[in-house]
Amino acid sequence: MFQELDSREKSLMLSEVLDDIGVNERIVMRRRRNCMLLETMCNINRTLSDINQTDYYLGSQIEGTTTEGLKSDYDILLCTHNVNIMQDRLEWKKGKLNYLIIQDENTTPGYCFLQKFETYLHLPASVIPDKNHITDGEGRILFKNTMITEMVEDGEQQHGPAIADIRTGFCDSDKVVGYLCKSWPQSAAGWLHRQGIGSWPTQEMRRYAASTGCFVVPTGSKVSKYPDREWRISTSLAERCLMFSLNITQIRCYVLLKMILKSFLNPKAEINISSFMCKTVLLHCIENTDPRAWKDNNLFTCLKNCLLELDSCIQNDCCSHFIIPENNLMAGQFTAESKQELSKNIGELIQNDGQRLLSIGIDDLGLRLQFKQNIELHGNYPFPPSLEIYDDVLILGYINIANDISANHKIFLKRFQNKNITSRTIEQSVGKLMTFSDNGNRLEHAAFKLLAPFHFTTYGSILASSSIGENKQVSRQALDWLSDGSNSDISSSRLKLASLFYCTREMEKAEKLLRHTEQQYNSNPVLPFCRCWNNPRRAVPADFVRRVRSDQSEDYIKDITAFCVRFIHKEINCVPHELQYEMFRSTQDSMIHVHRDELFDSWMDWAVVDSLPFLYFLQYKIFGHLQKHQDQQQALSKLERTIETDKNLGHKETALNILGQCMEQENRPQQALKCYLLSLQQRAKHNVAIIHICKFLSSILTRQ
């Protein structure tokens, strides 16, 4: 029996099982690296798009304190910099939306009011600007926290101060709006000088924490007299720093606490105890425990001590925020009945010497412990080793990074599809991007290498389209930018260049480039990627997994990924006329009767096609011009086979539309009509197949 083992044996067994399910240094660091890169790419894109906002990834994913079974969301804090939060009137800034933090007898500890100040006068505001502000009893104009409800868009739900993305096919994320106060909160001043056992947190951590300031988040305390106007003071970046400093035993203890929370304390997700409370208890225990105690062979004892501390907090209705101790996280959280039930459950966990851990189903933790204990009876260990878990983390990280590359590029294109945006504006944006290569940190360098080729290619293609329209020639500058961007991935940027060569009738150059691109496809496991819409990801092939495992730097993404090829209107002279139709898929009538999301559906005004179908289509057209009829028919067969067999295509309707036009060129009208009808089955609305069918029927009637 597990409970009969001594504490050291239990600790080592728990540590081994947690290692097996991915709670080890290697996987923790991989999760952190992935999230930090996502955060960096996002913020580079904000800069390029002139969006005055910084996104911060927080919580379990970036801490690495999660497992597959815990199903942790991505927690993102969105910080808009046009708002200036002051703790002192001297921090007022002209031209900003200025708010002064107010903490008095009417605010709950750890919370504040935000008093509005004028934008161009160093005075408190005297006029209520909108419904998101209110006047209090002292005549101050306060910012209400209810503004968060106006920020919820289609496909999202509000959960307290967070906005959750519920669209199928996108990674689960909770986004919280917060405004930065560059000053360290006055209520946390004492923490900067508090000294725990073993000198943790270190002075360096405290100095870093003070330099990060704090955020104010739109949510009030449960015990507040004014819940609609209170804002919570958050020290999220300081807390992230503390979590990054933990050793693997401390991280494993936190993961166990979260598993216990989901399995026994909050089984129905009633949210009596939050994971943040568990984290706070852990941090208090680390601060007040000799650091030599936090070792693998003492994990079970550390877990029991954390549970005892949690029970004490529940009994006393008090869990002090680690950095702002006056903020009681448990204020107003529990009824007398729930307190009794929670305390009973925690008591059973402690008193049965860990026996209840065997019934934790998350990541098969309980079953794994039983097999580890009775390995002689059970024989082979029937669970995947940590190497397979690491592969899963690698693949998931790869998919999330690739998705974000695609999503960030889409945002970049959306901005530059505006007719009023000039080539000079795009050049300035590319110039901003170059600063991250010249002056950025290591993460910014890594992000630059992934993002820059797409921007270079787009800029070169826009320049080429403009010069073709003016004088039928392609400028040297355009070709240089297209060349610099040719290594974006296995195919998409090269296909743009090949398309340009086709449109300028440089068929030999196009053929050579397409042959090289096809060779790259054939020599590597390649996965198509598209983040234009909520295209669900299918299973990843085994050879692809092996390829990812063999090269774990971010650059490997370029060698095994085929992004969809996107052309905006400014690139129209670089697009074959068969594909140009896709830029006009949304008629005025369809825009009225079928809803389009302004952000996520912006691609519908572009010509967008998956890489491999576009490669074979270009080959079909070019071989025809070169009178290589056998090669042309082979390309057509490959195009048909790809559409039929590739389950990961993001724009199958477009592939069917260009195939249909090939069939028309082949004088195979029945097959052409079949392609258009199949295309409509893929996407019934906002599909240019309707135009092709009308043209097709018109041509038949004309001939008759």
What residue ranges do the domains of the chain occupy? 1-30+246-381, 82-245, 388-703
pLDDT in tens, 237-295: 999 999 999 999 999 999 999 999 999 987 665 657 999 999 999 999 999 999 999 99
pLDDT tier at 169, thresholds 50, 70, 90: very low
pLDDT at 31: 93
Q: Which residue has the tokens 């079949």?
A: 674
Average the pLDDT over 47-72 and give the result: 93
Question: What's the pLDDT band for 306 if we cut at 50, 70, 90?
Answer: very high
Classified as helix, coil or strand, 466 is helix
Element (H, E) at 233: strand 231-234
The count of C-alpha atoms lying within 13 angstroms of the C-alpha of 612, restricted to the half-sphere facing its C-beta, is 26
pLDDT value at 422 more than 90: no
What is the per-residue pLDDT across 177-208, written as a single tens digit (0 to 9) for each?
999 999 999 999 999 998 888 889 999 999 99
b/e per residue 116-134 (b: at least 16 CB within 10 A):
bbebeeeeebeeeeeebbb
Cα-based distances in Å from 478 to 405, 462, 468, 571, 615: 23, 8, 11, 12, 21
Three-class DSSP labels, 121-139:
CCCECCCCCCCCEEECCCC
pLDDT in tens, 581-636: 999 988 666 665 566 776 678 899 999 999 999 999 999 999 999 999 999 999 99
Mean pLDDT along residues 57-70? 95
Beta bridge partners of 231: 112
**Topology of 1-30+246-381 in CATH?**
Poly(a)-polymerase, middle domain (1.10.1410)
Asked if 482 and 458 touch (Cβ cutoff 8 Å), the reply is: no
Q: Check whether 433 has a pLDDT greater than 70.
A: yes
Q: What are phi and psi of 265, to 5 degrees?
A: -95, -35
The mean pLDDT value of the chain amounts to: 90
Q: List Cβ neighbours of 642 (8 Å cut-off, separation of 6 or more).
A: 612, 613, 616, 649, 655
> In 482-493, which positions are buried (b, 16+ CB within 10 angstroms) versus exposed (e)?
bebbbbbbbbbb
Q: In angstroms, rounded to a whole number, what is the distance separating the alpha carbons of residues 71 and 181?
A: 32
CB 213 within 8 A of CB 184: yes
- The Cα-based distances of 604 to 6, 349, 402, 685 in angstroms read 64, 55, 21, 11
pLDDT higher than threshold 50 for residue 170: no
Residues in the chain: 704
**Torsion sign (Cα): 163, 168, 171, 172:** positive
- Answer yes or no: is pLDDT of 550 > 90: no
Return the exposure string of 184-199: e unless at least 16 CB atoms fall within 10 Å of the residue's CB, then b: bbebbeebeeeeeeee
Between residues 564 and 392, which one has the greater pLDDT? 564
Strand segments (E) across 546-611: 561-563, 565-567, 607-609
Q: Give the pLDDT score at 168.
A: 43
Centre a 10 Å sphere on the Cβ of residue 255 and count the other Cβ atoms it contains: 25
Q: What's this model's pTM, rounded to 2 decimal places?
A: 0.90
